[in-house]
């Protein structure tokens, strides 16, 4: 059977996926460890993972323009939270719906990747990370092809391989070099997961026999990306150099920037709209209250949840409560974004509790 090639417009939900997979930040759910790239020869070999064939039927979906292009390994290493080499253990489709009433599903895939080499502190060889990619297996009915092409009922349940820009998601046995960011503003899974930096731009295939790494290029527009084919040892040296260089300074842009006290005080005066004055006055009040004898110290500069409410103050109480509750439930290292019971009001801020060493 010849592969089915159908160009579809991008589903609305994928735009959200693109935004999630493009931000940068630096947090770790695990205690700091020695640089994991310093591997030793004494480590036992990891179990071999056999590759599996993909279905022949394919649907190739062109993407909208990227918000950012990554056309060098150095650039990817600078902005990724986590950089690893690994092997895909398995992949599972996520039938995500944009709404409960929608019959269409956005094609997403959960991939478990076992780390064979880590360049990031807190992640070591043998760890298994969950990565979510856009694309993967879906049914013709889920993609809306039945209505669009008037397909007969017996074809609606057929499974196809959805490929963004013609690039397939990882499958079992794939050896990859990944530049990752942890997803924090969407909850496709009830567990922490990572997204590939720049959708698929931070995913490289490892060719062990030829000793090189490369990434797939869009079949629609090669100008938006380069394969960046590089000898594996050279790529590892570049990554190691750039990650080490970041450690002596502010490593990555924080997803939860602390507002300076001067900014907060300015926004709490008559120079700001009335709704913002109320919000920032509450922030000042919360940050000035004494801390309980036990527990982490309250930062003097409060932190704010950036999305989906960035730039819109005041946040609703419900939004802040949900954001903080989700952070704690999912054990996400925001770190410990907690609501203070003595500031419950319509302008209650979500205040980050942490220590300077963590920040």
- Residue 349's φ and ψ, nearest 5 degrees, are -85, 155
Query: For residue 4, is it within any domain?
Result: no
Q: Are residues 144 and 282 in the same domain?
A: no
Q: Are 130 and 192 in contact, with CB atoms under 8 Å apart?
A: yes
Residue 1 CB partners (closer than 8 Å, separation 6+): 56, 57
Q: Are residues 234 and 190 in the same domain?
A: yes
pLDDT at 324: 43
For 82-94, the pLDDT digits (tens) are 999 999 999 998 8
CB count within 10 Å of CB 172 equals: 16
Q: Are residues 63 and 165 in the same domain?
A: yes
CA distances from 259 to 141, 264, 277, 300, 312 (A): 48, 7, 15, 10, 15
Q: Are residues 241 and 323 in the same domain?
A: no
For 104-122, the pLDDT digits (tens) are 667 889 999 999 999 998 8
Q: Are residues 269 and 125 in the same domain?
A: no
Query: For residue 90, is it within any domain?
Result: yes
Which of 216, 246, 276 lies at the terminal end of a domain, its last residue? 246
Query: For residue 211, is it within any domain?
Result: yes
Cis peptide leading into residue 99 (ω within 30°): no
Q: Are 116 and 23 in contact, with CB atoms under 8 Å apart?
A: no
Query: For residue 135, is it within any domain?
Result: yes
Q: Are residues 164 and 295 in the same domain?
A: no
Least confident piece of the model among 170-179, 212-221, 245-254, 318-327 = 318-327
More confident: 137 or 104: 137
Residue 348 CB partners (closer than 8 Å, separation 6+): 282, 286, 317, 320, 339, 340
Which of 199, 216, 246 lies at the terminal end of a domain, its last residue? 246
Q: Are 214 and 230 in contact, with CB atoms under 8 Å apart?
A: yes
- Residue 137's φ and ψ, nearest 5 degrees, are -75, 140
Domain span at 275: 261-352
- State how far the Cα of 98 lies from the Cα of 95, in Å rounded to an integer: 10
Instruction: Indicate if the pLDDT at residue 4 is higher than 70.
Output: no
Q: Are residues 266 and 157 in the same domain?
A: no
Instruction: Please name which of 294, 296, 266, 295 lies closest in space to residue 280, comparing C-alpha atoms.
Output: 266
Q: Give the confidence band of 243 by pLDDT, cuts at 50, 70, 90.
A: confident
Kindly report the pTM of this predicted structure: 0.56
Query: For residue 69, is it within any domain?
Result: yes
Query: For residue 254, is it within any domain?
Result: no
pLDDT at 27: 31
| Helices and strands, counts by H and E, the chain | 7, 13
Q: Are residues 102 and 228 in the same domain?
A: yes
Q: Which two tokens stand for residue 62?
A: 């062109």
pLDDT at 142: 80
More confident: 243 or 333: 243
Cis peptide leading into residue 314 (ω within 30°): yes
Query: For residue 252, is it within any domain?
Result: no
pLDDT at 89: 97
More confident: 271 or 329: 271
Query: For residue 7, is it within any domain?
Result: no
Instruction: Please name which of 113, 116, 130, 112 lies closest in space to residue 45, comparing C-alpha atoms.
Output: 116
Q: Running DSSP on this structure, what letter comes out for residue 104?
A: -
Residue 42 CB partners (closer than 8 Å, separation 6+): none
CA angle, corner 272, sides to 258 and 313, nearest 5? 55
Q: Are residues 282 and 201 in the same domain?
A: no
Q: Are residues 175 and 28 in the same domain?
A: yes
Instruction: Please name which of 134, 87, 93, 85 lies closest in space to residue 112, comparing C-alpha atoms.
Output: 87
282-286: long-range pairs with CB below 8 Å, 24+:
282/343, 282/345, 282/347, 282/348, 282/349, 283/259, 283/349, 283/351, 285/343, 286/340, 286/342, 286/343, 286/348, 286/349, 286/351
CA distances from 290 to 232, 287, 340 (A): 53, 8, 12
Least confident piece of the model among 102-106, 248-252, 304-308, 339-343 = 339-343
Q: Running DSSP on this structure, what letter comes out for residue 67?
A: S
Q: Are residues 55 and 169 in the same domain?
A: yes
Q: Are residues 45 and 190 in the same domain?
A: yes
- State how far the Cα of 294 lies from the Cα of 335, in Å rounded to an integer: 17
Instruction: Please name which of 12, 137, 5, 136 lies closest in space to residue 63, comparing C-alpha atoms.
Output: 12
Which of 192, 219, 246 lies at the terminal end of a domain, its last residue? 246
In the chain, how many domains are there?
2
Instruction: Indicate if the pLDDT at residue 44 is higher than 50.
Output: yes
> Of all helices (H) and strands (E), which one includes residue 284?
helix 274-288
CA atoms within 13 A on the CB side of 213: 24
């Amino acid at each position: 059977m010849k592969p089915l090639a159908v160009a579809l417009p991008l589903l609305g939900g994928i735009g959200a996926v693109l935004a999630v997979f493009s931000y940068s930040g630096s947090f770790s759910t695990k205690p700091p460890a020695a640089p994991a790239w310093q591997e030793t020869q004494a480590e036992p070999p990891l179990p071999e993972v056999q590759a599996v064939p993909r279905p022949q039927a394919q649907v190739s979906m062109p993407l909208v323009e990227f918000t950012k292009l990554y056309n060098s390994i150095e650039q990817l290493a600078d902005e990724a939270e986590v950089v690893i080499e690994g092997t895909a253990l398995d992949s599972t489709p996520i039938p995500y719906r944009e709404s409960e009433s929608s019959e269409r599903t956005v094609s997403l895939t959960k991939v478990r990747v076992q780390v064979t080499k880590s360049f990031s502190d807190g992640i070591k060889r043998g760890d298994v990370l969950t990565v979510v990619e856009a694309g993967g297996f879906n049914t013709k009915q889920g993609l809306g092809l039945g209505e669009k092409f008037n397909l007969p009922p017996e074809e609606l349940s057929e499974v196809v391989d959805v490929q963004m820009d013609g690039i397939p998601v990882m499958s079992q046995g794939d050896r990859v070099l990944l530049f990752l960011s942890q997803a924090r503003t969407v909850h496709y899974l009830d567990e922490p997961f990572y997204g590939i930096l720049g959708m698929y731009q931070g995913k490289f295939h490892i060719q062990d026999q030829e000793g090189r790494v490369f990434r797939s290029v869009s079949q629609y527009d090669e100008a938006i990306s380069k394969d960046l084919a590089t000898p594996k040892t050279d790529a590892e040296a570049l990554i190691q150099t750039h990650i080490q260089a970041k450690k002596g300074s502010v490593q990555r842009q924080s997803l939860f920037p602390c507002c300076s006290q001067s900014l907060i005080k300015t926004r709490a005066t008559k120079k700001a709209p009335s709704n913002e004055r109320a919000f920032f006055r509450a922030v000042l009040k919360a940050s000035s209250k004494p801390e309980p004898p036990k527990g982490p110290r309250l930062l003097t500069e409060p932190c704010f949840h950036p999305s989906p409410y960035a730039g819109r103050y005041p946040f609703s109480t419900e939004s802040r409560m949900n954001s903080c509750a989700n952070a704690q439930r999912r054990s996400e290292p925001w770190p410990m974004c907690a609501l203070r019971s003595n500031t419950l009001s319509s302008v209650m801020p979500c205040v980050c509790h942490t220590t300077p060493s963590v920040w």
